[in-house]
Chains A and B, each alone.
Chain A
Amino acid sequence: MKLIVAVIKPFKLDDVRTALETFGVHGMTVSEASGYGRQRGHTEVYRGAEYTVDLVPKVRLEVLVDDPDANDVLDVMVKAAQTGKIGDGKAWVIPVETAVRVRTGERDVDAL
């Protein structure tokens, strides 16, 4: 099993969710995150005092998938999240040892 993690632009979340749903992914975890990459932050001005805000709001998405699906899901996700502009985010895949469905105790692929 694999865990796909993506940090994307918040307004792309709906597109990604819809695309994954269409592809057949039935669950995900979403959290608010902030960070920066090459995009860096932006500046804000309050009463003439300028502040550089380094951390940009992002959405962090986590999806558990079976090994053979990992690459396809990753592709779907990246395609849906893409705007082509700097700051689109990152996605990566991590191997997962075990997964359990809390309600039933089912394990691994059955738990997905």
Chain B
Amino acid sequence: MPTTIDTGDTAWILASSALVLFMTPGLAFFYGGMVRVKSVLNMIMMSAAAMAIVSILWVLYGYSLSFTTDVGHGLLGSRNAAGLIDEMQPSSVISVAVPQVDFSGSTPKGAVDASGAALSVTHYYPTLAFAAFQLMFAIITCALISGAIADRAKFSTWCVFVAIWATVVYFPVAHWVFFFDGGNGGWIADRLKAIDFAGGTAVHINSGAAGLALAIVLGRRKGWRRDPMRPHNVPFVFLGMAMLWFGWFGFNAGSALAAGTPASVVFVNTQTATAAAMVGWLIVERLRDGHFTTLGAASGAVAGLVGITPSCSSVNPMGAIAVGAITGAVCSLAIGLKFKLGLDDSLDVVGVHMFGGLTGTLLIGFLATDKAPAAVNGLFYGGGWDQERRQVIGAFAVMGYSFFATLIIGYILHLVMGFRISEEEELQGIDVSHHAESAYELTNIGAPQARHTIGTHSPVPAYAGGPPPPPPPPGPPANSATGSRVDL
């Protein structure tokens, strides 16, 4: 029977893709505000690198490895969709089953056929809408890792790391967790049947464990624990959080891959859990430190978003309050661990994303209810321990794989290219020493002292400490009557 794509679903998936992309610059602000003035641009650039590199890899082979027919045991996709050439044809579609509702009685109810089986219609949306949507997940997962290695990672090595990590870790894990193919898909999603609706394992536990590994590979920042490493711009952190929260509706509700009831349930659960987590974090903070902080509110919201990501399809809104409050409290306690362990996970990627993702993933086994779109009962709804067992296996498999694979990639890159900038460059600030830029020009005293060196046709070397560079040789002044014209 000839049919057409569902325009409503397609519109929602495309809009969600844009929402999820918006999260990565949001993350750049979120992280950028938390570092010191001298490394905010590097923090932003690490997210920018993820956007640039992963997008290209995705078209070349990333989508194919993640989301095409399994090559065996649910471990990896094929090379069939490399280049996304065939996938752009109108005939390349993905289907989603949408339950029908029977409005004939006095109250609407789920439609069933004569034998009592639930009736559904099949909606179709273009493969490339799905490919665009999933690309954004790959980008932000890579970008999330950068928070663990703030202020000290060599940018070129980071770029190579992103390319290798996406290929070796993210694409396979996305296949495990997100690829459904009637029982022949990814091993965690389609065979183990652990629930991870929007990426609690594939995105958050994955990036958190990778952050932990890289924090070990790179070591602590100079002066860690001794120097005050205060956030230089807390409003930036809040702005970034706002962008993340906004984009997260695409991340979670978009993962329903249809503009209908599941997306709406997930939307409400996302909002509810995020609010509850903000409250949870702030209460812990008030009890422990005596104050409600803005950074705590922003961190709590992100923790809640992380926690509800895997669980938003399997709990009801009351469960979402529990998921949020528990995740917020757990994460605000978990961020203290790095000081006990002596690990400089600079911006708490482990504390927020690994622990938040783990909490959300494991709570599904307790709080899942079959009234929710995922239709599974957890322990508290009479489902026993069965679902929790699946959740534990899925979560720890991803954590272990990501941690050890990242550790190996990190150490190899550290040996081959060097993953860390020199001590002198680090103390001076990576923005100036590696990017030849500084984030702010706040005084009008320094500005006129900067001289244009356009027209000298030699790249301006980054100032790396020591005596200032000698002045350029005298020549005809630019723009003078005798000098050549300079086009600015």
Contact partners of B296 in chain A: CB under 8 A: 47
A48 at interface, CB cutoff 8 A: yes
A33 at interface, CB cutoff 8 A: no
Q: Which of A10-18, A49-57, A65-73, A98-106 contacts B (4 or more CB under 8 A)?
A: A49-57
Q: Which of A8-44 contact B (CB under 8 A)?
A: 44
Closest to B331 in A: A47
Q: How far is the CA of A52 from the CA of B227 in the complex (A)?
A: 10
Q: How far is the CA of A52 from the CA of B289 in the complex (A)?
A: 14
Tell me, rounded to whole Å, the shortest Cβ–Cβ distance linking A42 to chain B: 12
Q: How far is the CA of A50 from the CA of B225 in the complex (A)?
A: 10
Q: Is the CB of A46 within 8 A of B295?
A: yes
Contact partners of B285 in chain A: CB under 8 A: 45, 48
Q: How far is the CA of A49 from the CA of B338 in the complex (A)?
A: 11
Tell me, rounded to whole Å, the shortest Cβ–Cβ distance linking A49 to chain B: 7
- Kindly name the residue among B289, B299, B332, B339 whose own CB sees the greatest number of chain A CB atoms within 10 A: B289
Count of chain B residues with a beta carbon within 8 Å of a chain A beta carbon: 17
Q: How far is the CA of A22 from the CA of B80 in the complex (A)?
A: 84
B122 at interface, CB cutoff 8 A: no
Q: Which of B337-358 contact A (CB under 8 A)?
A: 339, 348
Q: Is the CB of B348 within 8 A of A47?
A: yes
Contact partners of A51 in chain B: CB under 8 A: 228, 230
| Candidates A48, A50, A53; contact of B332 at CB < 8 Å | A48
Tell me, rounded to whole Å, the shortest Cβ–Cβ distance linking A91 to chain B: 25
Contact with A along B267-291 (1 / 0, CB 8 A): 0000000000000000001001111
B293 at interface, CB cutoff 8 A: yes
Q: Is the CB of A47 within 8 A of B230?
A: no
Q: Which of B213-267 contact A (CB under 8 A)?
A: 228, 230-231
Contact partners of A52 in chain B: CB under 8 A: 228
Q: Is the CB of B230 within 8 A of A46?
A: yes
Q: Is the CB of A47 within 8 A of B228?
A: no
What is the interface residue range for chain A against chain B? Answer: 10 to 19
Q: How far is the CA of A49 from the CA of B231 in the complex (A)?
A: 11
Q: Is the CB of A49 within 8 A of B295?
A: no
| Candidates B230, B288, B299, B335; contact of A44 at CB < 8 Å | B230
Q: How far is the CA of A46 from the CA of B294 in the complex (A)?
A: 9
Q: Is the CB of B230 within 8 A of A48?
A: no
B336 at interface, CB cutoff 8 A: yes
Q: Is the CB of A45 within 8 A of B230?
A: no
Contact with A along B288-307 (1 / 0, CB 8 A): 11110101100100000000
Q: How far is the CA of A64 from the CA of B146 in the complex (A)?
A: 53
Contact partners of A44 in chain B: CB under 8 A: 230
Tell me, rounded to whole Å, the shortest Cβ–Cβ distance linking B218 to chain A: 20
| Candidates A45, A46, A49, A53; contact of B339 at CB < 8 Å | A49
Contact partners of A53 in chain B: CB under 8 A: 228
Q: Is the CB of B228 within 8 A of A48?
A: no
Q: How far is the CA of A35 from the CA of B289 in the complex (A)?
A: 26
Tell me, rounded to whole Å, the shortest Cβ–Cβ distance linking B150 to chain A: 13
Closest to A50 in B: B289
Tell me, rounded to whole Å, the shortest Cβ–Cβ distance linking A63 to chain B: 21
Q: How far is the CA of A50 from the CA of B348 in the complex (A)?
A: 15
Q: Is the CB of A47 within 8 A of B295?
A: yes
Tell me, rounded to whole Å, the shortest Cβ–Cβ distance linking A71 to chain B: 34
Q: How far is the CA of A48 from the CA of B296 in the complex (A)?
A: 9
Tell me, rounded to whole Å, the shortest Cβ–Cβ distance linking B333 to chain A: 9
Q: Is the CB of A48 within 8 A of B291?
A: no
Q: How far is the CA of A48 from the CA of B290 in the complex (A)?
A: 10
Contact partners of A45 in chain B: CB under 8 A: 285, 289-291, 293
Q: Is the CB of B335 within 8 A of A47?
A: yes
Q: How far is the CA of A17 from the CA of B285 in the complex (A)?
A: 41
Q: How far is the CA of A11 from the CA of B349 in the complex (A)?
A: 39
> Chain B: residues with CB nearer than 8 A to chain A?
228, 230-231, 285, 288-291, 293, 295-296, 299, 332, 335-336, 339, 348
Question: What are 23 sample pairs from A and B whose C-beta atoms fall under 8 A apart?
Answer: A44-B230, A45-B285, A45-B289, A45-B290, A45-B291, A45-B293, A46-B230, A46-B231, A46-B293, A47-B295, A47-B299, A47-B332, A47-B335, A47-B348, A48-B285, A48-B288, A48-B289, A48-B335, A50-B289, A51-B228, A51-B230, A52-B228, A53-B228
Known contacts A47-B335, A48-B289, A51-B230, then 10 further A-B pairs from the complex at CB < 8 Å, ordered by chain A residue: A45-B289, A45-B291, A45-B293, A46-B231, A46-B293, A47-B332, A47-B348, A48-B288, A51-B228, A53-B228
The 10 closest A-B pairs by CB, nearest first: A51-B228, A45-B289, A47-B335, A48-B336, A46-B295, A51-B230, A46-B230, A46-B231, A45-B291, A47-B295
